[in-house]
Amino acid sequence: MSFKEYKNLDYAQVADEILSFWKSNEIFEKSITSREGHPTFTFFEGPPSANGTPGIHHVMARTIKDIFCRYQTLKGKQVKRKGGWDTHGLPVELQVEKELGITKEDIGKSISVEEYNQKCRETVMKFTDQWNDLTEKMGYWVDLEDPYVTYHATYIESVWNLLKKLYEKGLLYKGYTIQPYSPAAGTGLSSHELNQPGCYRDVKDTSLTAQFKVKNTEKSTFLFDAAGSEVYILAWTTTPWTLPSNAALTAGKNIEYVLIKTFNPYTFLPVNVVLAKDLIKNYFKAEAENGDFDAFAAADKKPQAIPYQILKTFKGSEIEGVEYEQLMAYVQPEAPAFRVILGDFVTTEDGTGIVHTAPTFGADDFRVAQQNGIPAIVVKDENGKEVPLVNRQGKFVKEVTDYALEFVKEAYLSEEEKEIEKAKQGRDKYLSVDERIAIQLKTENKAFNVQKFDHPYPHCWRTDKPVLYYPLDSWFIKTTAVKDKLIALNKTIQWKPESTGTGRFGNWLENLVDWNLSRSRYWGTPLPIWRTEDESEEVCMGSLADLLAGLKKALESGKLDAGQIKGNEAFLAAAAKGEADLHRPYVDDIYLISPNGQIMSREADLIDVWFDSGAMPFAQWHYPFENQEIFKANYPADFISEGVDQTRGWFFTLHAISSMVEDSVAFKNVVSTGLVLDKNGNKMSKRLGNAIDPFETLKKYGADPTRWYMITNAQPWDNLKFDLAGITEVRNKFFGTLTNTYNFFALYANLDGFDPKQLGSLNEANLTELDRWVLSKLMTLIAEVDEAYAQYEPTKAGRAIQDFVCDHLSNWYVRLSRRRFWNPESAANGLSDDKIAAYQTLYTCLEAVAQMMSPIAPFYGEWLYKNLTGKESVHLSDFIQVNKSLQNESLEQSMDLAQRICSLVHSLRKTHKLKVRQPLAQILVPVLNEQTREQIRRVDGLIKTEVNVKEVNYLDDASGVLSKKVKPNFKALGPKFGKDMKQVADLISQMNAETLANLEANSVVTMNGFEIGLAEVEIMTEDMPGYLTASEGGLTIALDNKLTPELVREGMAREFVNRIQNLRKDSGFEVTDKIYITIQEGPLDWKESINEFKSYISQEVQALDIEWKNQLEGATEVNMEDVNLFVQIRK
RNA sequence: GGGCUUGUAGCUCAGGUGGUUAGAGCGCUACACUGAUAAUGUAGAGGUCCGUGGUUCGAGUCCACGCAGGCCCA
């Protein structure tokens, strides 16, 4: 066989060619079918939303996914990976609305739900072509032929099945969350609606700082001890109407609070109050601190500044659990309430640093109350249903007797209504509920401060009235009930990086609230729950078959009206044709009959799209309706990977659903990847114009350099500062070097007819030290790379491969081995054992590198592998095994010494302007032990050629010319001497030759009473007089720079060789061309040198003869530093 | 405001369990090399290891408090 040789390799073109090869030979399919019956490695693809175009960060994310799937395939696993599309949800809806120029208001009016959903269905797969294109071009292997699609009926049916299972476990319930609500419009508002311009307006509200009276319990003893009398906690609110609903007070864990002795400013009764230290200034005048309490109490007309005194300072965590008396006791809670809890949303920006908490009227309040087991203050309506103290019209319920059926906000009253109320109140001005509550509390010694407060407050865009934060119905999954299970299972997952699992995800699980499933939208998976109007009966549908059965039963009952019958029949007809659409509006038109004969209609909600994607382990296979075997073999996943932003998204929903339904993790290993930023560390965005087009990048640089750059530049979980210049660097440095190395191999292997099919496996007997060394390095590399991939550390793997190729293989092995390959030898005579060993070694390294790099650079790895081996595909091969017999630690150390010695000699030559072409007599290496001498001796041949010296000689103690130096070994001294270390270190540094000799002889010496052992010092050699010396890291070498006439002449011969080689090259001769050299008579010293080294020169430049002539026509003038020679070469 | 995370040379990054002289690549400067050559070698310049305290004989590394950037949440 012959190896292809390349000039100016275009990596994008390589990718193109390999891609079409893969396609026409179905290599991806084979990589799976060829592993039939092997253990599976399961990967779950997090579905991208196809309604946007892919970006460069998708190349990053998918490279990570691809690497480990390819690696596991090499390790013999069968790796099925089904692609998928996330197709439901708000982004799709918004895009459709933008395209059609409509808003949510129009749905059901100017456009039917049916038409709208049809449009969503069309839009959502809009960019699939682009996605598929990117997937292919970047070399990401995933099954695009048969992806799962979340809007397909089969997918939805599986989702319903999961919901049914949760329902049966009692984990699905209807409850409420606090959402913006417009009582005037009678509707909830989305955050989207609330963020429209003009919604937030400045309003003047009554703000009130209330005094909550602390109960004297164990928790609060320290307060009472300091105060000696009643203690009140101060909490501030801009919505006094929520005070009857107060259930807790929330403090900040790390906020500093104070207990202050002072007077109530309205009743002038002495009080002790608690508030945040930073906010004292908002309530007290600094000059009144430690004022005259007695004088104030005695004064008839009270002075402006109320005296106060700080009694105690403490952290929020110290008042957790302190109980207090209910402030406005209209309605009693069903469980213990009225205590201090901690919340992370508390600030010291306004108020008192303690937040009045009404679970029914604030999202934070609701959440923190739920987490702390604080009940909401509710009453039962006429149906026995629990409702808050304010009804949906915005009026107090009758139980709040003093304000029964009054609007809680003044803005809800019309002018006429205000007049009527004014009359009722018997005042000359209407006073709002807030104002009257303030007055009431003032007189009851429960208000510490009341004032008007300007702040922005959200208003309903339809009615212009302020919104309330109000509990609205939602369907929930009771994740709090399985919190412990979620936490326990999470501990079995390997997270990369670990902190995402323990920190971000772990903390999230610790603070879990129930999963709100409900979405009031149109395009999504409908909640499969039907209820009777009085909510006494309900059913959850777990399959299409169940639904159809229920639907038929309803038709047969004869209780449906004409419209209902029509809807049911239409659905039945569609289902009969296999076209049942489980979306709205069709499912909305289905009516069922309860066991008690009542009509049931569907709960209008759609479910959170995150449930869709979290359901994919099941729904991608239409489990349990189909593919039960495939599901069992591919669940749970061995590996998933997505952006760290998915922690609370997909990672959570996968984990939650699996934990609840299967009592299992959904994935065993997860890599959460960082962001791809621009080269300056800014977020990429189309708007800013700093987004990188993935297609252009792949086209210009090729997929392999792009992938390699992304993986080796930063750890996957760190943010990547993406710089195109970095790809260029990787391309030149790594891929360029590797391609050069391959080309070098190919060039000579072709000349010599080396055939790996016959000679591909190593014959260890013929290996040189250099061969053994690079193979030992290779074995170490294989082990390292295997481990790195297995541990989901692609960056380590890539960097290790890169270092091997550039530093060890190319720059040392090949550079020092070139001469062996040049050695002219015709194929006809058979190759020498040495040459075969060289080819085998280089071939072995290249083949292994091709395979190890192939998960990261799949096209190039394939290209290299195929060029080398002629086999079908690297991706169908088995991961190379470490051959332990080739590992040689001592040889690696030897070579390390050789490299350091060469580096030192080069450095000396450089500083003393001694060209490498000038041979020198010797270098001297001081060695303090026999082992080092042997280690260097093994490789001194390499050193001699590399730095062009005739001898490597060793100096030991016996030579008497060594001057030694001793340094303290701090690591050993520290533990032994501790505080006396400095003193001992000084003693060692000042040790004289005699003491040192003593130490060496006895292994121990005592100085100033300190016993110093041999292991506690480092002994090294220093300068040698008469030579050029250099040292580094304990290694010293001396260069003998004395030139003999003989050495000078050899140097001249080498110079001449150099010029002839240049001439050959300039003349365009082939490497194999033999030449004749003719030189015009000239300087005698040059003639002498050239003649003396004629055979050496001839061999080097492949000259058949060198002759001298008096006159030479058409000769080339060659500069030899001091003189010029006229030379002619011909074939 | 909270959780997590990052901060080391102009740039991108390495720096097990603390050990005194902090490294690599790229870039820059100079020189050398020239049958791998749009490569390569050598040398040089370039560092408050984000800051401040603390623990220690000794801190880039451990602890505390900050500062700046990022992500998620509020």
Indicate if A508 belongs to the active site.
no
Summarize pLDDT for A169-185 with one digit per residue, the tens. Answer: 999 998 888 888 888 77
Indicate if A610 belongs to the active site.
yes
C1' (B33) to CA (A917) span, angstroms: 10
C1' (B2) to CA (A68) span, angstroms: 35
Q: Which of A85, A160, A241, A650 is catalytic?
A: A650
C1' (B43) to CA (A904) span, angstroms: 11
Helix (H) or strand (E) holding A1092: helix A1084-1092
Residue A592 near residue A551, CB atoms below 8 Å: yes
Q: Which of A78, A95, A211, A646 is catalytic?
A: A646
Q: Which of A515, A523, A610, A708 is catalytic?
A: A610
pLDDT for the residue A740? 87
Indicate if A86 belongs to the active site.
yes
C1' (B8) to CA (A716) span, angstroms: 20
The owner of tokens 């009777």 is A532
Residue A155 near residue A87, CB atoms below 8 Å: no
Which nucleotide has the least CA–C1' distance to A741? B36
Summarize pLDDT for A598-620 with one digit per residue, the tens. Answer: 999 999 889 988 999 999 999 99
Indicate if A650 belongs to the active site.
yes
pLDDT for the residue A191? 63
The owner of tokens 């050496």 is A1096
Q: Which of A23, A632, A683, A871 is catalytic?
A: A683
Q: Which domains does chain A have, with CATH numbers?
A: 203-392 (3.90.740.10), 543-600 (no CATH), 718-887 (1.10.730.10), 894-1040 (no CATH), 1045-1130 (3.30.2320)
Residue A1037 near residue A905, CB atoms below 8 Å: yes
Residue nearest to nucleotide B30 (CA to C1'): A910
Q: Which of A86, A605, A638, A771 is catalytic?
A: A86
DSSP A307: P
d(CA A438, CA A266): 11
ipTM score of complex:
0.90
Indicate if A646 belongs to the active site.
yes
d(CA A82, CA A1083): 78
d(CA A983, CA A281): 57
Indicate if A7 belongs to the active site.
no
Which nucleotide has the least CA–C1' distance to A646? B72
Angle value at C-alpha A176, between A172 and A179, nearest 5 degrees: 135
How many other CB atoms are found less than 10 A from the CB of residue A88? 28
Which nucleotide has the least CA–C1' distance to A675? B71
Give chain A's residues under pLDDT 50: 827
Instruction: List the alpha helices (DSSP H) in A912-1008.
Output: 930-938, 940-947, 970-977, 981-989, 993-1002
Which nucleotide has the least CA–C1' distance to A899? B41
pLDDT for the residue A962? 64
For A21, A446, A579, the CA distances from A567, given in Å and listed in that order, are: 53, 59, 15
The tally of CA atoms less than 13 A away on the side-chain side of residue A74 is: 27
A139: amino acid identity, one letter? G
Which nucleotide has the least CA–C1' distance to A1058? B34
Q: Which nucleotides of B are covered by protein (CB under 7 A)?
A: 1-6, 11-14, 19-21, 25-26, 31-43, 56-58, 69-74
C1' (B61) to CA (A506) span, angstroms: 27
Reported pTM = 0.84
Helix (H) or strand (E) holding A209: strand A200-213
pLDDT for the residue A3? 83
Q: Is A686 annotated as contributing to ligand binding?
A: yes
C1' (B28) to CA (A1041) span, angstroms: 32
Identify the CA nearest to A571 among candidates A557, A593, A555, A559: A555
C1' (B67) to CA (A799) span, angstroms: 33
